[in-house]
Amino acid sequence: MDNTNKFLASLNYFSVFIAPFLLPIIIYFVVDHHEVKQHAKKALVSHIIPFLSIIGLFITIFFAAASSSSEDTAFFLIITGFVLVGLVNLFVFIWNIVKGIKIFTKES
């Protein structure tokens, strides 16, 4: 993989700072290199995971509020949900940075 393709492949992961959904989609449709397209798909999935975890948190909050369980149980579910979403988002953020650095520093 030449330097331009390495840069584009790593930029997919670093787009977590700039345009998490938009940049991998644009690179996927513009670039013809197969490996760059694969990284664009992986980066897009890794950018969607935090969004899905936040949706899961809202669902958890809704069901915790709507359930007839005690307030302590609902509070515990909500706090646990926030902690889990925070951990998932932190892990995905760090994974994107590490993956982008690995690709960029990988020798051909």
Q: What is the pLDDT of residues 11-20, one digit of tens each?
A: 999 999 988 8
Longest dimension (CA), the chain: 60
Query: What is the pLDDT, as a whole number, of residue 68?
Result: 67
How far apart CA 45 and CA 48 sit, in angstroms, is 5
The predicted-structure confidence for 59-89, as pLDDT tens digits, reads as follows: 888 887 787 677 888 888 889 999 999 999 9
Is residue 40 within 8 A of residue 31, CB to CB? The reply is: yes
- Which amino acid, residue 106? K
How far apart CA 39 and CA 13 sit, in angstroms, is 8
How far apart CA 59 and CA 51 sit, in angstroms, is 13
Domain boundaries, the chain: 3-105
Query: What is the pLDDT, as a whole number, of residue 26?
Result: 94
